[in-house]
A and B are shown apart, each in its own frame.
Chain A
Amino acid sequence: MKRFIYNTAVALGVLLGASSCDGFLDRIPTDSVVSESAMATLADAEVVANGLYTDLKYYTMYGSYIPYMGDMRGDNLYPTNASGTGRTIYTLEYEPVQSTYFGMWQNYYTTIMRANTLIANIETIPVMSSADQEKKDDILGQALAIRALCHWDIARLYGYPYMKDNGASLGAVVLTEVVAPSESKLPRNTVAETYAQVEKDLTLALTKLSKSKNDGHFNYWAARMLQAKVALYKGDWQTAYTAASEVVESSPYRMVPNSEYLAYWGKQCDDESVLEFLVTNTGDIDSDGGFYTMYHNMWFEDKAAGADIIPSKAWKDLFANTPNDVRAQMIAYDDPVTGAIKSGEYWLKKFIGNKDLGYTFRRNNPRIFRITDAYLMAAEAALELAGKQDIANEYLNAVVKRADPTAADVVATLDRIQIERQKEFIGEGHRFFDVLRRGGKIVKDASLDDRDFAGNTRQEIDWNDHRVVLPISHNEIMLYPELEQNPGY
């Protein structure tokens, strides 16, 4: 018995001794990585850099809502459904409380936080060679460019057009570092302040970024296009011209020829694309590139479905006299004979799916910058600068004739460029901003359309309308009143 007690005591002692050390309680996850060790090497940093793009590609951002903000608030596209998000955006009747697209504010800050985390930590990563240093610079440049893109997007979505009041309205909360919850209740900066930070980030980014193609990522040329665009919105014609024309003249990108134009939309990062975000088929189809289905008439191959978003009569009429225009061929029509139930309806057959990866029309890479845009930006800026009418003509005609080789030469005017932009960028989210940034007026009259689902809406919107800027989510303001709501909400 004594022996037994002794043995038991020893066994217990061993067990207690072995387990009482805290090691038993130190566990680490295997499906995520503890932050301290997440970005130790340059290879890790590349992975973190990829994380700058993942949220922006979803339907909640460039995959859907941002294009909607440009085309559906504008006069290019309209929703076939009488209720839901599409209608609210089309009519600019934003719900007073939270709507799904209000999440954009938060999504931008998620990506800004990621960029700021990367910028704050990349310095300590050791480099062994000049190639490494270039890589490291490029990653830093990408983070700066993404940060610039997010800030600028916030400014144009939530702030009034720069040229309305020289950026005096409220824009983004400008953030250049990660903030803890206790320091996060920061007021908004003005649009001008936001632009200033965007310009600063881009200037630095351009010194860091590689000029090589880097599919799905910011490189020098993409940042240069963003710089041109920011300048164009600001009325800084010289910068816009210099940046855009450099992309046109010196970048490795080219406008695909007319014969490849329709197929281009099914390619991954073809020569035309300066920046695309990459969708994959591992994600949920609805969120990862899937909402392009809404333009298509075959939602889940359902003949009865019809497209959710269709081109307006106004947009189709742009091609009334130019039937050879390749872009007119993107207007699809459901012939009653084909058996589609919602026959007799036009829809936009632009986003045909990433065929390079074998996807159907459901998964498309959002196009962020195409070189065609550089042509048109350069043309517009050239018109504003003295003595550059010929250059403007040249750039504009390159775009016009690519679309329709039979077209006659046109003389560049601001209006003609605007028309060309409208034709070219449907579904890419430009129209509303293009009109308003210059103080123009959006006129849309759904009653003229084939089917008036939005309910007899005739609207004229200019930059004095409070609905031109999105409201900041009520939930966000509840958290801290220092965040000022836009006027009118």
Chain B
Amino acid sequence: MKKLILSVLMAFCTTMLLAQTVTVKGTVIGSEDGLPIIGAYVVEQGTQNVASTDIDGNYVITVPKLATLVVSSVGYHDRVIPVQGRQIINVSLAPETINLDEVMVVAYGTVKKGSYSGSATVVKQDAMKDAPVVSFESVLAGKAPGVQVASFSGQPGAQADISIRGFGSFNAGNAPLYVIDGVPATSGDWASGNMSTSAMSYLNPSDIESITVLKDAAAASLYGSRASNGVILITTKKGKSGKLTSTFKASAGFSYFAYDNYPLASDAQMEELHRQAWYNYGERNPSKWKSYGSLDNYTAEMVEKYYPARDYDKYIYRDWEDVLFRTGISQNYEYSVSGGGEKGKIYASVAYTDQQGVVSIDNLQRFSTTINGETNLNKFIKIGGNLQYSRQFQEGHQEGASTKDNPFFIWKVVLNPRWPYAYKEDGSLYLERWNSSYSTINPVASYNAQINDAKQNRLIIKGFVEAKFTDYLTAKTTLSTDWLYVHDRFGWLYGHPNYTAYSDQGGYMSDRHRNVNRTVSSTTLNFDKTWGDHHVAALAGWEAEEEKYHMTRIGKIDFSYAGATESIFGTNYEDGYAYSREEGLLSALGSLSYDYKAKYYLTGTFRRDGSSRLAPETRWGNFWSVSGSWRFSNEDFLEYEWLNDGKLRGSYGTSGTLPSDYFGYMSVYDFEQYGSAGASYPGNLANTDLTWEKNKNWNVAVDATIFDKYNFTVEYFEKKTTDLLLDAKVPSTTGFSTTLTNIGSMSNKGWEIAVNVDIIKDKDIDLSVGANWSTIKNKVLALSEEGEQQVNNRQIWKAGYCFYQYYTRDYLGVNKETGMPMYARGTFHEGGKPASEDVTLKNGTKIAKGETVPYDTYNYTPTTRSKANSMILDGKTALPKGYGGFNVDFRYKNLSFIMAWSYKYGNYMWDNATDDLCVDGYYWSHRNMLASEVDTWSPENPNGSIPIRIADNTEGGYYDSSRAIHKGDFLRLKNLTVSYTLPKTFTQKYSISNARVYVAGANLLTFSGLHVDPELPSDGYYNFGMPAMRTVTLGLEVSF
């Protein structure tokens, strides 16, 4: 009976409940830390009824008693909870950890990571949010396998040198394509080149949600003719569903040189080296010192002349390091708002950065703002757009080995401890020269009369409409414009020590204005449907892109007044012109993916590009890829407890690189001036057959997760690039020296291994460590002529050798008898033929003239510099054998600790400073000397590692040789961040949802055997660019 009554009651209640509503309250927390989740959605399933949690994670929603709630928050798995009449429902959400269903941004869309068969690396915002950098590229160093990041300069705002999976081009550039929020963007350096200014530095790193690096054909070939060097997809932050959150972040950083660059000999040691130089010179030229009475007198006089003792009565001396450099101070403030609901989402930010560089004249200020949003007009249509604007002002110094303007060069090479700063008498700056080749040496005077700055404005506006026709079919059309305006100025004004360089009278000032307008329109149709075990996704679309470039330059000379800082004060024109340039690219693209039972995946992509850079007959090209993967862990016969996930994938495909010359296929006349009239002449040897550089690319990989904690990816790739654009030499009889031709070929191959281990994963404590290792082998396969070689900057391009193969005289060390430097003769001898001179093999075996040379070899017989020839130095290339990084992520309760290391090995650098600092006395006047120069050979020190020092020593170290080549191996602590999140219990009292303080350090530790900072441009050539900085940043982030 009781049972019956109960049943009836139940039935009755149920009926009641169906009609009745209930007000449900509760708290949403994260399962990983038990802390409240702010802005989580609580939605009554199937309705528009929604609530979101407050800063305490609390929500209130009124729903029918039998309703079902869907609780969601970004970064967490959704939960579906039947109400069943309850009034209090507390929900714990599980975070989306490294997750097979994690969505990643790829070419023209997103995919679930588990179903992706291309090769791409995603770097998330977490990895870069606190890194003390102006440009985001540097955070990729050591994080993304296959990606090498170097810096052209340590000056604020400088462009990063990124290469993805080696080098595929001689002339068309090796920089990747940048795509921002789905739209190809303007990148590179558009300033004058007097200092490096990256167009990408407009981006505030905090506005970046994630970066995806597309590496293989399957990933990149949807970008067709521009994908050969890989693609960097940047996804900026968007509004997140939930309560409106605003975040304020401020940081201050302090920087100075990260490395003890070029340690110099002490004052006393330099004096001794000067003494040796003159003594040895006098000994060899007795006629020189006859009038001085004795060699010792002569030596003493010469040392006093060229390295005069300090004269405190006459001069003021200062520590030049203090004069030229300072602790760089940077400040960064940003404020962002993010929020959204069912109807739409919005994100906006403003940021201001001010960097005072380490060089006292280097500065950068940047203001940037972004706003983006989207809204659902109705069930079918979504519209949205974004606006990014940034304005950057950059002041800096000229790089390179110029005595005039590069303070780093002047400090290290020119300003010795005995070089006066000013005259004591009236305090005026000491402005003297050493010798004819140099202008006056006092950088302070140069700074005062030098202008070198760049203003960069960038505005990107994008709008889109997305129509969802059905669950499985959507269309999206996007229109975007990207405007970059760079105004740079360079001037040696009246009073600059070099002010007569451009004109006879005084002063030079150049203004350049560059505008780059890029408009991209794209429309895509997306299909995505699952039938039982079958899943099909397809994409079709087209894209049109137009770039318009306009440049204006005006140069004035002969300034009539010393304080002039604008060219209006220049009396005469040095130069003035304007021109524009445009290009168009039209494309159709598509992809088709199929997978079965989440086990077998197959994808094909296709793109057809037409470019205005090529002749009408050759301008259309097709690019495609096929890829597949097998998720073997989903096979029944491989169902092991320890195998959480395993996938084998492979891809093959093509991509291209466009000629860098916009009109290379056209025969054109160039114009210049003759007398007061115009002059013109044929300007190029046109090649109407010009076409893309073609890249064929395959990739195989295994991804696996085992024992719940070990994640690894092992990948191997080979890239072969053909039809490489080369300035093929043509006989002079054509009237030209070269013509651009598709003729070369090159290959790149390498391994990439990444391992990540979640050592501890607990409520209060997390520890994971990761490591990655990439190798790269590059080989030039063919140039335009058989046996042809092209020598550039001490490197040689020759079939069979690396793109960055060194080619110079081989230094063999010090002759123990004479102390003179020895170099290999360097002449080439063919194997099997009689030797035309006495030949020494590399192993020391001597072959007399006339005897048979056993194999192809260079002659290693020691000789003097002037008799030595340049030769290919086997195995010495600027390309690393391997590189990568390590990282440790540790969290204990509210404290987190992130450490990232990067390393590189097997590469050789060309240290051009050898020309200036290790010259064995070739330069005898004033110049600084490297500390290692102290071990100079002398009869008393016959084992000295440095050749004898003789003033004016033309057989000394000044000339190019392998003395300038050094092993570039290094290990560097790129980033160390310790951050502490204030307890919620504390912050919530002040209505603060989240507060965090952190300390971040960049380049804190460096291990390298080099004389100079080891982060070098990828070609290995170093010539006094500004080295990397060590930076420590303190920051605070508060969210409301």
Contact = CB atoms under 8 A, between A and B. Distances in A.
Contacts of B500: 300-301
A479 B731 contact: yes
A106 interface: yes
Contacts, number: 205
A278 to B, nearest CB: 4
A53 B674 contact: yes
A51 B673 contact: no
Contacts of B619: 25
B736 A25 contact: no
A114 B732 contact: no
A33 B671 contact: yes
Interface in B195-232: none
A109 B469 contact: no
A112 B735 contact: yes
A113 B731 CA distance: 12
A54 B672 contact: yes
A26 B612 contact: yes
B669 A483 contact: no
A185 B610 contact: no
Contacts of A282: 573-575, 673
B502 A51 contact: no
Interface string A25-66: 111111111110011000010111011111001000000000
A4 B381 contact: yes
Nearest to B542: A16
A216 interface: yes
A454 to B, nearest CB: 13
Contacts of B674: 50-51, 53-54, 57, 216, 278, 280
Interface string B731-773: 1111111010000000000000000000000000000000000
A29 B733 contact: no
Contacts of A52: 681
Contacts of A32: 663, 668-671, 683
Interface string A448-482: 00000000000000000000000000011011100
A50 B734 contact: no
A186 B733 CA distance: 8
A19 B545 CA distance: 10
A304 B680 contact: no
B663 A280 contact: no
B427 interface: no
Nearest to B543: A19
Contacts of A35: 666-669, 682, 686
A8 interface: yes
B477 to A, nearest CB: 7
Contact of A24 (B435, B498, B586): B586
A110 B736 contact: yes
Interface stretch (A172-180, A228-236, A415-423): A172-180
B730 interface: yes
Nearest to A285: B502
Contacts of B321: none
Interface stretch (B34-42, B166-174, B577-585, B974-982): B577-585
Interface string A289-313: 0000000000111101110000000
Which range contains the number of A residues in contact with the other chain?
A: 35 or more
B581 A30 contact: yes
B895 interface: no
Contacts of A319: none
A4 B468 CA distance: 12
A353 to B, nearest CB: 8
Interface string A114-157: 10110000000000000000000000000000000000000000
B616 interface: yes
A302 B433 contact: yes
A30 B579 contact: yes
A26 B616 contact: yes
A117 B682 contact: yes
A472 to B, nearest CB: 9
A33 B680 contact: yes
Interface in B520-553: 521, 523, 542, 544, 546
A175 B585 CA distance: 41
Contacts of A342: 436
B732 to A, nearest CB: 4
A144 B674 CA distance: 19
A12 B669 contact: no
Interface string A360-389: 101000000000000000000000000000
A359 B675 contact: no
A274 to B, nearest CB: 16
Given A25-B611, A35-B667, A82-B954, A106 B732 contact: yes
Nearest to B551: A31
Contacts of A408: none
A304 B612 contact: no
A215 interface: yes
A180 B734 contact: yes
B583 A27 contact: yes
B735 A109 contact: yes
Contact of B584 (A24, A51, A216, A483): A24
Nearest to B672: A54
A265 interface: no
Nearest to B866: A83
Contacts of A185: 731, 733
Interface string A95-113: 0000000000110011011
B101 interface: no
Interface in B683-742: 683, 685-686, 729-737, 739
Contacts of A280: 673-676
B544 A53 contact: no
B491 to A, nearest CB: 16
A305 B475 CA distance: 72
Contacts of B542: 16
Contact of B433 (A57, A283, A304, A353): A304
B503 A281 contact: yes
B504 A38 contact: no
A117 B739 CA distance: 18
A197 to B, nearest CB: 14
Contacts of B730: 181, 184, 479
Contacts of B736: 110, 113
Given A1-B380, A299-B436, A475-B729, 4 more contacts: A5-B469, A33-B680, A35-B668, A186-B731
Interface of B: 380-381, 433, 435-436, 439, 467, 469, 475, 477, 498, 500-504, 521, 523, 542, 544, 546, 572-575, 579-586, 610-612, 616, 619, 662-663, 666-683, 685-686, 729-737, 739, 785, 788, 954
24 contacts: A5-B467, A19-B544, A22-B610, A26-B612, A32-B663, A38-B682, A46-B677, A47-B679, A48-B680, A51-B680, A52-B681, A54-B681, A82-B954, A109-B735, A112-B735, A114-B735, A216-B675, A278-B675, A280-B676, A285-B502, A304-B436, A306-B436, A353-B504, A480-B731
